[in-house]
Structure 1
Amino acid sequence: MNSIIVTWKNSLRNLVDFYEAKRGSIYTFYPTLFLLFVLINIGCYWWAMFTAFPELTRGNAGQHYFKVQFPVGFLGALFDSLSFFVTIFIIRRVLRAQKNVEYILHLSLDLVIAVLATFWVLFVFSFSGWIIHLLDSIHQDLADRNEDYKRMLVDALANPTDNKRNIYFGLIMGVSAMLPTCSYVFMFLKSSFRTIFQQKY
């Protein structure tokens, strides 16, 4: 197991070295990163809409949700771009860890980001719908919308079978926030395979 951790850590170190070598000026990197996450969030939004709620992509509902994509993309990118730098910070701390347990615990902090992302997605959709209604001169109470989304979350956890589309939609919208965690898992599996293969042959 120790050899797998060492290989895994080397992979993360190579990733950070690549990032630092290619990043360039933060003043050009951050806007580029932010725009990338805007596009990813909008892409995931329409992917989720067309596959989970295609009936909401037409008519008056379609016009409303077309407008919603813009605050969703912006707010989603805001969270994702900030969490990107938090992840880089965590990885740098991880690479200084002396014990394997400490190493894994540091990486587990990224799961906190994934949990926060879930609540952020709820807020984003609540706020985005509210702001679009406000621009369309339709009065809605933001607090009431937030409560509605909280009830949807509780209901989805209590009755997942009855909320398959909502759960699927949330998972798709969380793709960008899950990228760091998926990267860790991929690197771990790759390191495991490489280490086991080398030991056998």
Structure 2
Amino acid sequence: MVVMGVLSLMVGLLLPAVGAAVERSRTTADSAVLRQNVMAVNAYCRDHRGVYPLSRPLAFHAAPAWYEAVTASGHVGQASECDPREFKRSGQVRFTLSVCMVYTPERMREGFTVPVDQAVSVAVGEHQVVYPSAKGLMHRAWDRHRQVEHGGVYFCCTMRVPSPVAMADGSVEVADFRRYHGSNPVVTLDLVGSPIWSTWGGYRARDK
């Protein structure tokens, strides 16, 4: 009984550490995939006059579907390469381009937003991003491995889940949504206002 008690105690102490190590490993792997995705987007831009991938008529549909344009152009062999682990599991890609890169900043201002089904996508060039090192380009939008019973958790805006984030200058870091919004409450309207994903001010603004 004493031995069992000691073993139970040891397991209880080790499990959190093991869980944290596994999570770090997943995040490291996802960061590597994100870097590859950013390289593919950059290659696409070079071959399309600096314009970010655009494959859907509505901005909030075009941003998460960025890989369709990059795959169609041949810069990526197939969609599964953009998120191998999750695509194998569900056929989905968790990494999304920022809506700011496919939408006019004029509609990303308070008082000027429109419903999602009226948010028409537009061509945005790399040169239009005012603060490349401070404006998010792409991030892991959700993570199925956390709270799987609820379908996973999203990058924003309740739980502070560290996620890989790429800035418009190509740099990649790991942080939670508050890194890009400080202590201010997240206020969204017509889906505009989420850090990285749909920043107020669009490509003219900064996330940090």
- Regarding TM over 0.5, the answer is no
Structure with greater helix share of residues:
1
State TM-score, norm by structure 2. Answer: 0.29
Greater gyration radius: 1
Structure number with the bigger relative contact order (C-alpha 8 A, sep ≥ 6) is: 1
| TM-score, scaled relative to structure 1 | 0.29
| Higher percent of residues as strand | 2
